[in-house]
């Protein structure tokens, strides 16, 4: 075997060694990823007795904001967690916040509840919507884009859709519970 043949063989072996090393590293990375993202539903989701049902909801809405950038809002009771999905006991309703010149309109989807079960609390910079009914629990806290006057605000509820109209003002500080019409 001449020097040239030995050199040629060594070059081929070197190349195949690197290829095998890359394959080994790829398998190791895939194994790490598989173990990192593995989750066991029985450890995350609550146990449900026979005859019972548990609703898991996740969704999002996308719309274009006034600045031309997309606004993505999540809703439901399943949220991404560090070790897989996390389930909350309260569902976060789908909510849209529309800012106009003299008012802020908040529209929330609250299906399956009665008007009397809805609690709305407004302060100058925030709005909290909550429902604690049999089989339905909703909660959403919103930071409002402008200061509002809670006393002059109006709320209506029809066919599972809550609409809250909040009048803009300069400065108010006291929180106010709103009545739904």
Domain map of the chain by residue range? 1-38, 43-177
Query: What pLDDT sits at residue 172?
Result: 45
**DSSP H or E run through 164:** strand 161-168
Q: Are strands 84-92 and 126-133 parallel, antiparallel or unpaired?
A: unpaired
Query: What pLDDT sits at residue 50?
Result: 57
Query: Does the global pTM surpass 0.85?
Result: no
Number of helices (H), then strands (E), belonging to the chain: the values are 2, 11
Residues of the chain with pLDDT under 50: 53, 172-173
Query: What pLDDT sits at residue 21?
Result: 80
Closest CA to 89 of 119, 127, 51, 56: 56
Q: Which CATH class is domain 43-177?
A: mainly beta
Classify 30 as helix, strand or coil.
helix
Beta strands in the chain (DSSP E): 58-64, 70-81, 84-92, 95-99, 103-109, 118-122, 126-133, 136-143, 148-158, 161-168, 176-177
Query: What pLDDT sits at residue 134?
Result: 80
């Amino acid at each position: 075997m001449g020097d040239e043949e030995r050199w040629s063989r060594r070059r081929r072996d070197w190349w195949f060694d690197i290829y095998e090393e890359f394959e080994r590293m790829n398998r190791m990375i895939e194994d790490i990823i598989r173990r990192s993202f593995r989750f066991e539903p029985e450890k995350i989701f609550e146990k449900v007795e026979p005859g019972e049902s548990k609703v898991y909801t996740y969704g999002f809405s996308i719309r274009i904001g006034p600045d031309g950038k997309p606004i993505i809002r999540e809703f439901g009771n399943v949220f991404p967690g560090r070790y897989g999905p996390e389930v909350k006991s309260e569902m976060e309703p789908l909510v849209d916040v529309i800012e106009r010149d003299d008012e802020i309109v908040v529209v929330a989807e609250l299906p399956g509840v009665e008007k009397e079960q809805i609690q709305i609390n407004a302060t100058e910079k925030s709005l909290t919507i909550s429902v604690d009914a049999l089989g339905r629990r909703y909660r959403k806290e919103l930071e409002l884009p402008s200061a509002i006057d809670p006393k002059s605000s109006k709320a209506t509820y029809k066919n599972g859709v809550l609409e809250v109209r909040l009048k803009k003002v300069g400065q108010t500080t006291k929180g106010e519970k709103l009545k739904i019409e």
